[in-house]
Amino acid sequence: MPLQNERPLIEMAGVNKWFGENHVLRDINTTVARGEVVVVIGPSGSGKSTLCRSINRLETIQEGQIFIDGELLPEEGSGLAKLRSDVGMVFQSFNLFAHKSVLENVALAPVKVRKVPRKDAEKRAMELLKRVGVEAHAHKMPAQLSGGQQQRVAIARSLAMNPKLILLDEPTSALDPEMINEVLDVMVELAKEGMTMVVVTHEMGFARKAADRVIFMDEGAIVEEAPPEEFFTNPQSARAKDFLSKILTN
Ligand SMILES: Nc1ncnc2c1ncn2[C@@H]1O[C@H](COP(=O)(O)OP(=O)(O)O)[C@@H](O)[C@H]1O
Ligand SMILES: [Mg+2]
């Protein structure tokens, strides 16, 4: 047996999931190494969000196993709470607490979940807000910020728990075009700093610049996985070729 810290950070083995009759994850077998950046692409409805959500157990799976850092995903209880703080998640829709200030959004979980003293949590929150370039807005309410700024706050909030990895599900899809790059730049920096990331995105520039591997999904299955240059220049399957021809021409 390898030592626990030599195992991949994420391991998915024989994962299957159904929503009723709909088989949405089909025999998923893959691993994500420490510090690896994986971009997941594929048509709408192919299971990308469900894959992410099953990694932090926002969705349950019916078959197979998912290990995070060598530990089987907990079913419930304190193990699940720990998992949620080890696995950061950033959604398309930001999901900030609307009635709390930007600073409070970032400091809240460390105070409530980790019992970090408020003063320390706020100091660290300011550092994180600075890192994502929105420290000037710390005392505003989320609605006073642009979408790009709110999404950067959401990234800072997930970093506040010192997660082992971050899942980002279409983090720029709800943004006006001029705001996409400010969020992608933060993500590229995170990747460079060695954060383990699983990113669902159609931003091929990000994939080329920051991804170690692209996973292409279709109809719930992983159809191809390859380094970005290889995948974009020489996709193997007809489905990937068809998908790329659609997204790269418009
Ligand atoms: N909460 C849900 N209840 C029932 N079906 C769902 C639910 N969420 C997703 N699905 C279905 O699962 C499939 C995969 O969806 P999803 O993971 O959201 O795909 P993607 O993120 O690639 O667009 C789709 O057929 C979708 O309709
Ligand atoms: Mg989705």
The answer, yes or no, to whether residue 197 has pLDDT greater than 90, is yes
Backbone angles phi, psi at 223, to 5 degrees: -90, -40
For ligand 1, is residue 47 a contact (CB within 6 Å)? Answer: yes
10 Å CB burial of residue 176 (0-12, 13-18, 19+) is exposed
**pLDDT tens track for 222-250:** 999 999 999 999 999 999 999 999 887 65
Taking CA atoms only, the protein residue closest to ligand 1 atom 3 is 19
Residue 6: which pLDDT band, with cuts at 50, 70 and 90? confident
Average pLDDT, the chain: 94
Give the number of whichever ligand sits closest to the CA of residue 50.
Answer: 1
**pLDDT tens track for 135-150:** 999 999 999 999 999 9
What pTM, to 2 d.p., does this model score? 0.94
In this prediction, residue 181 carries a pLDDT of: 96
The helix (H) or strand (E) run that includes residue 111 is: helix 102-112
Report residue 85 as tokens.
């703080």
Coil, strand or helix at 66: strand
The answer, yes or no, to whether residue 163 has pLDDT greater than 80, is yes
Mean pLDDT of 26-47: 98
**pLDDT tens track for 92-123:** 998 999 999 999 999 999 999 889 999 999 99
Ligand 2 center–CA 58 separation, angstroms: 13
Ligand 2 center–CA 22 separation, angstroms: 16
Give the number of whichever ligand sits closest to the CA of residue 21.
Answer: 1
**pLDDT tens track for 206-222:** 999 999 999 999 999 99
For ligand 1, is residue 97 a contact (CB within 6 Å)? Answer: no
Ligand 2 center–CA 6 separation, angstroms: 31
Percent of the chain at pLDDT > 70 equals 97
CA separation for the pair 134, 116 (Å, rounded): 22
Closest atom of ligand 1 to CA, residue 46: 22
